[in-house]
Structure 1
Amino acid sequence: MIIDENLLQRLAKLGGIALEEGKVEETKHQLSEIVNFVENINKLDLDGIPASFNPLDSKLPMRQDCVESKPEIAKDILKNAPSTEDNFFIVPKIIE
């Protein structure tokens, strides 16, 4: 695919991009190279290659849902707080 002046101006308008006059030819050339590179994918024979990932086939890993009581975790967290009382954080009042 060749990017001409009209297509470039249309793409610039759709993208909300202001193109500098000196950069128009360079931009057309770069966009043409990108499109040609991507068009190479269409030439590949991918019929015999299976998809490497299908979200319909994947299953979530399951684990036991066990309740554990670990009071030492709360103590470790609260020791980093600037102010605590009865195993709770003390925060300044922000609403009058």
Structure 2
Amino acid sequence: MQIDEKLLSKLEKLSALKINDEKRNELVNQLSEIVNFVEKLNELDLSSLQATINTIEGGTPFRKDEVKSSEVIDEILKNAPKTNGHFFAVPKIIE
């Protein structure tokens, strides 16, 4: 696929961009290089490769759902002006 002035004008219209006249030739060359690179990638024979879906065989390992100690909660509540059990006590704002 060759990038030419007609295609560049179409891309310019679709992208809602205005390309300066002095940058047009440079952009055509850059886009052509990108398209040529992608075409080379399409030539690769990947039929012998298996698609990788998961990096760990057997699925995702689950961790045990365990309750942790409340040391962190106690440390945080030490700094609170008022507490009520394991909660912050705040002034009532709705009557």
Please tell me the TM-score bracket, short chain as reference: 0.7 to 0.9
Contact 2:82 2:90 in 1 (8 A): no
Q: 1:23 and 1:94 mapped to 2: Cα distance?
A: 62
Q: Point out where structure 2 has 5 or more consecutive residues left out of the alignment.
A: none
Q: Point out where structure 1 has 5 or more consecutive residues left out of the alignment.
A: none
What TM-score, normalized by structure 1, do the two folds share?
0.73
Q: 1:30 and 1:94 mapped to 2: Cα distance?
A: 63
What TM-score, normalized by structure 2, do the two folds share?
0.74
The reply on whether 1:85 has 2:82 as its aligned counterpart is yes
The reply on whether 1:24 has 2:24 as its aligned counterpart is yes
- Change over 3 Å in CA distance of 1:32–1:74 after alignment to 2: same
Percentage identity across paired residues of the two chains: 46
Q: 1:39 and 1:5 mapped to 2: Cα distance?
A: 20
> Counterpart of 1:35 in 2: which secondary structure?
helix
> Counterpart of 1:34 in 2: which secondary structure?
helix
Cα deviation, residue 11, structure 1: 0.8
- Change over 3 Å in CA distance of 1:74–1:18 after alignment to 2: same
Aligned to 2:44: 44
Q: 1:94 and 1:15 mapped to 2: Cα distance?
A: 52
Aligned to 2:14: 14
- Change over 3 Å in CA distance of 1:92–1:3 after alignment to 2: farther
